[in-house]
Structure 1
Amino acid sequence: MKIRDLRFTPVSVPYREPEHWAWGVREGVTALLIEVDADDGLTGLGESVPFVDLGYAVETLKVFKSLLVGEDPSNIEKIYHKLGALGYQHVVDLVFAGVETALWDLVAKELDKPLYRILGGAVREDIEFAPWLWIRRPEEMVKEAERFAEEGFNTFYIKVALNPKDDIERVKVLREGLGDDIRIRVDANRGWTPGEAVRMINKLEKYDLEFVEEPTAAYGLKMVKQSVRTPIASGDSASTPHEILQLVMERSIDIFSHIDPDLQGGLLNSKKACAICEMAGLPVVAHTGVDLGLGVAAILHLVASTPNFLYPNQTLYMRLEDDVIKEPFVFERGAIKVPESPGLGVELDPRKVERYHNVFRERGAFPAYGIRPPAKIERILPPRLWL
């Protein structure tokens, strides 16, 4: 089997309502749907989220196509290093992730097996998730969490580092409203200085947080971890296996919470990152905040085949207006079953792809990091940095 062609389609899928967080406001997800055609008639599917400029991503894919045609799609390690020689490693990783997923999809389809079977086999069959609660009035957040709890979710994420008083009030009301059996995590998106992080985490400790994610920038994580009793999760500042190894060796975190093929450069590198954490005794959490169905499918197969995913994983999937696959995933008791059909186990819906490609053409790409900065950051950084 040889690669015959590579095709891609940009789509923009809105959220049901905007998300407010420490870095601005997000209105939806823009992704590049990847299709890799083989000479035996099979097509592999993948999805890249262009955190980088969309134009860079598109031009990078054009270069990828010229280098991939004629290659054996099963030579994933060889292909990754061949494309990595282009330089700009993080850009290459972000764009390559969707291509690599499509290669895995092709290989698994040729073997007529679900992808997790060739990634190591099943450790688990149901993948648990933790939804984000949108920032709103505390009592409204409690009601939303109660609705999720009725559907079987028992762990929730909320964004903090917006306003200290409001952050504490939201966590307090959530804990009092939901009781002790529900797990609460907070994510500061590096919005605190190390000193602010220590002060805020100590104030929040009495509300029994499962962990605090990204309390500060990488340079301050070790100090924060040594100064608080609440577990510290991070990973946003470490993407490649080499960076993750350094973070783990520094013993700066308790949990690595950013296992994400988009950030690591594909499923193979994500497996390597998980192995590094496993050797250090660290659990991992999948970072799936801005994925459509193809990206979610890749995460399901990754988590199913990797032992140290010990916590429910991030998701915003239920926040999407719709999806581009024929049968969108359904949560059962807070979990999604791993597909059993060959490859990723999902198919694109041509009508939905066309619909959300038209949304992209009309509205453009939704910025991955939000459309405006929070006030306290805007006061520090020149406005041109937010263009």
Structure 2
Amino acid sequence: MKITDVSVSTHRFDTVLPVVDRPGPSEVRVICTISTDTGLTGTGMTARFLPAAVAAAIQSHLGPAIVGLDPCRPAMVTGRLMPLVSERGIANGVNRAALSCIDLALWDITGKALGARVSDLFGGFADDAPAYVTCGFPNLDRDEQAALCKAMVGEGYGTIKMVVGHKDGLAEDVARIRAIRAAVGEGVGIAIDANEKFSYATALRLCQMLDGEPIAWFEDPVFNNDARDLGRLRAATGIAVGAGQMDGHARRFREFAEHDALDLYMPNSMYNGGMSETQRVAALANVNERPLSDAGGGGIYCLHHMTAFPGATLAEVHLGTLHLERQLFTEAPRVEGGRSALPDGPGFGVTLDADVLRGTLI
């Protein structure tokens, strides 16, 4: 089998939050499709940052370099690409996002060619995963957020995640967390995510203000996920710390391990270089005896790594991503009773809706 063409497009999706009927996060996807001489195709995605630049990198540089190669040998294809994405040092940003897109598409084809799910190609540890739900967003007021979280608990989720760093300050963050606790009761986990917005001092102060409130984990708490500050915060507060969704390649997780900075390894295959790189992260998580999770709205792609490797814990169901995937794929992802189930089909098991793709082009 040989690669005959690599195409790429960029799309924007509007999302709506259930229960409160408010706009969810606007979602952008760069979609890469690899075609072969057998008629099999594979799809990979990345999102968010400089999408036009990512698409241009694939269209003009990476795609042409792999035409003629065997897509069922992802390591060989990646070996051809690495000198292009980084002549020296570690590829990050646009380069790594573009590599992620291609790597995911390669594994999609490989799974289809072998009649196997991608998760099974990497070990096939489980068919589904317990999930947490990301449903706390700054555009909701306290009552709306509490109502949405309560509804999600009613659907079976045992842990919810909310964004902190509200424009009205830490006191508002604390008030919102306590409003959620009052709505969902004591048996539900509440995780918080600062999206790397806080200094170490601010993150520590928030933890101190939340003393007595059991926090499931604190995700991306400090600027640039500085490994030293993550380690200091973890030691000072006793709150579990998670990170890795945006720059979570294996070398970055090695740095986290060297500083004993994380309780949760949270790679995202749409950004870190794809399933091939996530496999390396999973190995690090295993040898460092840390659970593997996911974050950053990776959706179906991250679900495959959450079901592939032993030691995986909660998969993320991000309400914005969930709405996007229910628009984008002809068969909606299955989430029931607080669990995310792998699709039955080979590869990543999803099919793009061509009509939706045409209507969302940017």
C-alpha separation between the residues in 2 aligned to 1:41 and 1:321? 25
Aligned counterparts of 2:129 and 2:236: Cα–Cα separation in 1: 36
The CA deviation string for residues 196-245 of structure 1, in whole angstroms up to 9 with x for no partner, is 22221022131111111122131411221121122122225752211211
Change in 2 beyond 3 A, CA 1:344/1:320: closer
Q: Shift of the alpha carbon at 1:139?
A: 2.1
What is the TM-score with the length of structure 1 in the denominator?
A: 0.83
Q: Which amino acid aligns with 1:208?
A: P
Q: Is the 8 A contact 2:245 2:295 kept in 1?
A: no
- Cα distance in structure 2, aligned partners of 1:313 and 1:326: 21
Q: Out of 246, 252, 259, which is 1:250 matched to? A: 259
Could you report, residue by residue, the CA deviation over 1:96-147 in whole angstroms, capped at 9, with x for unpaired residues? 2121111111111111122222111233434523222223222221111111
Q: 1:270 matched to which residue of 2?
A: 278
Matched, 1:310 2:316: no
Structure of greater relative contact order (alpha carbons < 8 Å, 6+ residues apart): 1
Assess if the C-alpha contact under 8 Å between 1:288 and 1:314 holds in 2: no
Residue aligning to 1:367: none
- Residue 144 of structure 1 is matched in structure 2 by 148
Structure 2 residue aligned with 1:298: 301
* More displaced 10-residue stretch of structure 1: 338-347 or 179-188: 338-347
| 1:158 is aligned to 2:167 | no
How far did 1:265 drift?
0.4
Deviation per CA, 1:256-299: give whole Å up to 9, x if none: 23x1112210101011111101110111211242x5xxxx3322
* 1:112-191 matches, cutoff 5 A: 112-135=115-138, 136-162=140-166, 163-191=169-197
Q: Is the 8 A contact 1:13 1:30 kept in 2?
A: yes
Aligned pairs for 1:35-184 within 5 A: 35-49=33-47, 51-88=49-86, 89-90=91-92, 91-135=94-138, 136-162=140-166, 163-184=169-190
Amino acid at match of 1:8: V
Structure 1 residues 212 and 9, CA gap change in structure 2 (3 angstroms) = same
Q: Which moved more, 1:302-311 or 1:313-322?
A: 313-322
Q: Tell me which residue corresponds to 2:232.
A: 223
1:115 partner letter: V
Q: How many residue pairs end up in the alignment?
A: 346
8 Å contact from structure 1 (residues 159, 186) kept in 2: yes
1:285 pairs with one of 289, 293, 300:
293
The DSSP-based 3-state class of the residue aligned with 1:286 is coil
CA contact (8 A) 1:261 1:270 kept: yes
Conservation of the 8 A alpha-carbon contact between 1:61 and 1:95: no
Question: How far has the Cα of 1:70 moved from its partner?
Answer: 0.5
CA contact (8 A) 1:34 1:102 kept: yes
Question: Which runs of at least 4 in structure 1 moved beyond 4 Å after TM superposition?
Answer: none
Residue 127 to residue 173, structure 1, CA distance change in 2 (3 Å): closer
Residues 101, 267 of structure 1: 8 Å contact kept: yes
Any conservation in 1 of the 2:27–2:48 contact (CA below 8 Å)?
A: no
Partner of 1:365: none
* Secondary structure of 1:177's aligned partner: helix
Q: Secondary structure at the match of 2:222?
A: coil
- Aligned-residue CA RMSD in angstroms? 2.2
Q: In structure 1, list runs of 5 or more residues that go unmatched.
A: 18-24, 361-387
Q: Which amino acid aligns with 1:44?
A: G
Q: How much does 1:49 deviate?
A: 1.8
Alpha-carbon distance in 1 for matches of 2:117, 2:324: 26
Q: Structure 2 vs 1, CA of residues 355 and 339 (structure 1 numbering), >3 Å: closer, same or farther?
A: same
Matched position secondary structure for 2:327: coil
Matching residue of 2:6: 6
Please state whether the residue corresponding to 1:323 is helix, strand or coil: helix
Structure 1 residues 302 and 86: alpha-carbon distance in aligned structure 2, compared to 1, 3 A threshold: same
SS in 2 for 1:144: helix
Letter aligned with residue 146 of structure 1 = K
In structure 2, relative to structure 1, the CA distance for the partners of 1:120 and 1:322 (3 Å cut) is closer
Rounded to whole Å, the distance in 1 between the matches of 2:160 and 2:144 is: 14
Label 1:263 to 1:207 Cα distance change in 2 as closer, same or farther (>3 A).
same
CA drift of 1:94 comes to 0.4
The one-letter amino acid of 1:184's match is I
The one-letter code matched in structure 1 to 2:241 is: I
Query: Higher mean Cα deviation, 53-62 or 148-157?
Result: 53-62
| 3-state DSSP of counterpart to 1:336 | strand
